[in-house]
Amino acid sequence: MNILFAASECAPFFKTGGLGDVVAALPKALQRKNLHVDVILPKYEDMPVRFKKELTFLQHIEVPVGWRRQYCGIEYLNKDGIRYYFLDNEYYFKRHGCYGYDDDGERFAFFSRAVLEALPHLDKRPDVLHCHDWQTGPICALLKSECFRSDLYYENIRTIFTIHNLKYQGIYPRSVLYDLLGLNDQFFTIKGLEFYGCVSYMKAGLAYADCLTTVSRTYAMEIQTPYYGEKLDGFLRSRSDALHGICNGIDLESYNPVTDPHLFAHYRDAEGKKANKQVLQKKLHLMDHANIPMIGMITRLTEQKGADLVLRVFHEIMALNVQFVLLGTGDPRYEAAFRYLCSQYPGNASANIFFDEGLACQIYASSDLFLMPSKFEPCGIGQLLALRYGSLPLVRETGGLKDTVQPYNEYDDSGYGFSFSNYNAHDMLFTIKRAVNFYQKDRALWRSLTNRAMRLDFGWETSAASYKNLYESLFDH
């Protein structure tokens, strides 16, 4: 079976968040399941030079964007057994960054149409087009339009649309339907792309894909409720039979405390974490104290990630005799608040308002607790990486956090993390107190929980098997 991933980003070529990691890792896991997977992407200006030098020009085509016909170059390179295709148009993509431009609606209308126009020129005809997030939603609608429906080449191509974060939807004026996508009014209905008088690229995928997935079982249920549904909960309930939750994984080779080149010392168990903690304390000018619990937080500083909860009870957290290490950027008011509060605890708190992959791995390896109190979290990767490096996650029970972190139960000695259910700063504080109490009173138990966490397998194999079953089910009838 031939699968083609269509996405707006993919590491190591371009990455702004978790989507880039998924599109990088999942195809490799699917290849190991004897599926043939290619990936098709925009060719942004920010592609590293080393990859630009490896590109091979395949073909140029013309792509209709409303009444215009735009140039599209098709280039490719092979990496790790996967062929990556890049669609080139300098007007749309020769810019820094992937998103955030006033004409993003036109840019991704072009990309969506270009993906379909490029298919006959690729090495293999896909059986399944796997589209990711709002930037590729129009592909699913266009494939159902008269232009492609009447072409035998496209007749039996199935589509899967994956929601990585429902909050970002690609909403544009109604005129986009005709002027950019070339679709008619039969697509502008409540069962189609129409969204409160506008056009939603996310809804294009939700309405016209053969199958829908999102990145955890709990998030699949949550988005069918008004609180999490971003005004699409009713529509998602109408398609609940087609909606599946499949948890993301992590790349166990890249994130491995035994081999990770960023770490100060490699390790296999809880005992080995000590050396990393000691060096990180010196690096960040914290007190050199092996027995003080270190709380790590690696995050975007946004309301979604629970930054306001931490700020609300920051002094109470520090009163527990802990060290706090933050890494991340985001909303300027959160950045300033964390800088100010951490400055009040010299030697015990460190605010690193930037992002650095190496320092992130060092924090995972050094911290004892990993704090992730998200308001909502489709899947989350931080808690999975924390478990891999033996930092016990302390999370709010939402989305993928609920699915992947089993809270510790002292009565039957089950679980390996800590969690709270209400989005409330004092519920979070109570849970932090409980975790710190276990750390301070029973170090043998803490070592046992750390080792238990490190033995868990959150690689991509289970997820890949679920996706393979889903692909095959599209052809069962």
pLDDT tens profile 103-153: 999 999 999 999 999 999 999 999 999 999 999 999 999 999 998 988 999
Banded pLDDT at 18 (limits 50, 70, 90): confident
Q: Position of tokens 């957290």? A: 317
Q: Which of 30, 23, 4 is nearest to 468 (CA)?
A: 30
Asked whether the domain spanning 270-454 has the same topology as the one spanning 2-249+461-473, the reply is yes
Mean pLDDT, rounded, for 374-399: 97
CATH architecture of residue range(s) 2-249+461-473: 3-Layer(aba) Sandwich (3.40)
Q: Which of 293, 416, 279 is nearest to 361 (CA)?
A: 279
Sign of the alpha-carbon torsion through 177, 200, 13, 10: negative
DSSP 407: B
Q: What is the pLDDT of residue 477?
A: 61
Q: Is the pLDDT of residue 223 over 80?
A: yes
pLDDT tens profile 23-52: 999 999 999 999 999 999 999 999 999 999
**Residues contacting residue 356 through CB under 8 Å, at least 6 positions apart:** 327
Cα–Cα distance for residue pair 255/361, rounded to 1 Å: 8
Strand-pair partners of 185: none
The pTM (predicted TM-score) of the whole model is: 0.94
User: Residues, the chain, total?
Assistant: 477
Residue boundaries of the structural domains of the chain: 2-249+461-473, 270-454
User: Measured between alpha carbons, how far is residue 388 from residues 250, 256, 362, 365 in Å?
Assistant: 9, 7, 12, 9
pLDDT tens profile 241-265: 999 999 999 989 889 999 999 999 9
**Residues contacting residue 375 through CB under 8 Å, at least 6 positions apart:** 303, 304, 305, 306, 396, 398, 423
Q: Is 144 annotated as a binding residue?
A: no
Give domain 270-454's CATH superfamily.
Glycogen Phosphorylase B; (3.40.50.2000)
Q: What is the pLDDT of residue 197?
A: 97
| pLDDT > 90 fraction of the chain, expressed in percent and rounded | 95
Cα–Cα distance for residue pair 89/111, rounded to 1 Å: 9
Q: What is the pLDDT of residue 123?
A: 93
Cα–Cα distance for residue pair 322/286, rounded to 1 Å: 11
pLDDT tens profile 295-323: 999 999 999 999 999 999 999 999 999 99
The three-state secondary structure class of 56 is strand
Q: Which of 217, 158, 206 is nearest to 471 (CA)?
A: 158
Banded pLDDT at 17 (limits 50, 70, 90): confident
Q: Which of 358, 314, 359, 320 is nearest to 337 (CA)?
A: 314
